[in-house]
C-alpha cells in the first residue's frame, strides 16, 4: 500500500507519481492541484533530476 505524502490517502498503484529527485510518493490529484508547476515537466526532466544530485533544485 502506498500513501500520498500530501493528503495521506491510500493511492491506487496506477495513480502514483513518484518524484524522481525527492522520492516523494503522491497521488495525481495532489500533483495536479498543488504541484502542477513542479510536475508538469517531471517526466521529461527525470534524467536531469537524477544527474543533478549536487545542485539544489527548486
Does the pTM surpass 0.85? The reply is: no
Determine the Cα angle at 20 with ends 16 and 25, to 5°. Answer: 35
Q: Give 6-53 pLDDT, tens digit per residue.
A: 788 887 766 676 665 666 777 877 776 666 555 554 555 555 554 444
The pLDDT, as a whole number, for residue 45 is 52
CA distance linking residue 4 with residue 6, whole number of Å = 5
Amino acid at each position: 500500500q502506498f500513501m500520498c505524502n500530501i493528503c495521506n490517502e491510500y493511492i491506487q498503484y496506477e495513480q502514483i507519481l513518484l518524484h524522481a529527485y525527492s522520492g516523494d510518493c503522491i497521488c495525481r490529484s495532489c500533483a495536479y492541484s498543488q504541484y502542477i508547476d513542479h510536475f508538469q515537466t517531471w517526466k521529461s526532466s527525470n534524467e536531469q533530476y537524477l544527474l543533478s544530485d549536487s545542485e539544489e533544485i527548486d
